[in-house]
Amino acid sequence: MAALEKATGDVVFKFEPFVLHVLCQELQDAQMLHSVAVDSGFRNSGITVGKGGKITMAVRSTHCLEVPLSHKGRLMVSEEYIEFLVHVANQKMEENI
């Protein structure tokens, strides 16, 4: 809260979802990993094939959070709401784990 009180610009509370990139030798390896990831709840997962044939499988969570807290140095939310956001973000971190 002390840092927020000193802020002069915009402040955003942000929680980034889990991302794991795996380089795969064969497309079928990536497809198998993709199936496991999606079945495990990582619905934003995907496979990319680069120009050189590099196959990358990305396991991605959907657990993200981005909330503005202040605008031009003016706090837009209460301390209670920030505590709530921290609690929600910690829950999302537990889900990522």
Q: Are the CB atoms for 11 and 68 separated by under 8 Å?
A: yes
* Per-residue pLDDT reduced to its tens digit, 14-48: 999 889 999 999 999 999 999 999 998 888 999 99
- Listing DSSP states for 30-86 in one string gives HHHHHHHHHHTT-TT-EEEE-TT--EEEEEE----EEEEEEETTEE-S-HHHHHHHH
Q: What is this structure's pTM?
A: 0.69
* Per-residue pLDDT reduced to its tens digit, 4-15: 888 899 999 999
What is the pLDDT, as a whole number, of residue 62? 82
DSSP 29: H
* Per-residue pLDDT reduced to its tens digit, 61-81: 888 899 999 999 999 999 999
